[in-house]
Amino acid sequence: MTHTLMTSLRQLFHWPPYRQSPQAVVELRRRQVYIFPTKQGFAFIFVLFILLIGSMNYNNNMGYLLTFTLGSMMLVSILHTHRMLHGLRIEAGQTHSVFAGERVLFQLGLDNRHHAARFDLHFKVQTPLNTWDEVVVVNVPDNQKINVNLPIASYRRGRLALPRLRISSVFPLGLFEVWSYIFIESEAIVYPNPVGQRVFPVRQEARQSTQGQHPSLQGEDFVGYRNYKTGDSPRHIDWKAAARGQEGLIKQFGGHSTDSFTFSWADVQHLENIDRAVSQLSLWINMAEKQQLPYGLQLPHLDLKQGYGDSHYNRCLTALALYQG
């Protein structure tokens, strides 16, 4: 019953959130900051009411003193609670790309230009189910700026915008809660999850150039895996993978003719959907990058030349993340 009453009161006094478009910098003004009693606050008000009635009934001066002292303390706590958010400046910071299923760390800068510290700031993010998940609680020292990282779950590749945030505090006494809704303009790129066959695609020209050669004569550089075929040398089998229950994988070694790759959409277009295809390309790019093998990427209407390194790696994975077919 108490929970139902609290919910009804919150709905009665719950003004609609201040309308705002996404901004890189937000400074909380009075019209953006709301305050309301908590459960403890309503209980405290009820106790004050009982004390006041008892003091009036018995004409007890000490009762009056206690009631008005506690009431004054409650009024002062309203001002302190409201000050936890009013005037706080929040700005977007750096983000880093991740793979689908990992958490993106959205960085925010909290600038407190007030002479008093701000305590017990709770950050919550709005979920797709329209609920609020708490991600971090911070304190901001007086006249200082700090950075805070908000971990946000990613579920699919593409652009991930920072969801709407709810920042709140019940400091100092927990009798009142102050909160505000903010919409910060910040986004991250979510790369396709690298899953699929751990065997590099073999070009027709590569097969022709190595036809008739024993694997041991094709060079000494490891370039990837391929499936086992009858007649392959046992010393090229990846026995560790076989011990884990995986199908027989043969280590491929090659010289200049096979030590670079151009991963093409034609290599994966037979897969059942676009997400499976880009995940396979993502896996090959990861494998080539870890082995520092030059690689390129060919998508419809896009051709990235061969290379390797962080810049080339991020450019290829970003193209896969944003590819829509």
What global pTM score does this model have? Answer: 0.76
The pLDDT value given to residue 64? 95
| Beta strand ranges found along the chain (DSSP E) | 25-27, 34-37, 89-92, 98-99, 103-112, 118-126, 132-140, 144-153, 158-161, 165-169, 176-182, 187-191, 221-227, 249-254, 261-264, 295-299, 302-307
Contact indicator for 247, 296 with CB cutoff of 8 Å: no
Residues in the chain: 325
User: Is 189's pLDDT higher than 60?
Assistant: yes
CATH 2.60.40.10 boundaries in the chain? 23-191
Contact indicator for 150, 167 with CB cutoff of 8 Å: no
37: preceding bond cis by omega (within 30 degrees): no
Contact indicator for 180, 34 with CB cutoff of 8 Å: yes
Residue predicted with more confidence, 239 or 23: 23
Percent of the chain with pLDDT strictly greater than 70: 76
Tell me which residue of 9, 39, 14 sits closest to 170, measured CA to CA.
39
End-to-end CA distance of the chain: 54
CATH of 23-191, one of 3.30.1330.10, 2.60.40.10, 3.40.50.720, 3.40.50.2300: 2.60.40.10
Average pLDDT along the chain:
85
User: Is 108's pLDDT higher than 70?
Assistant: yes
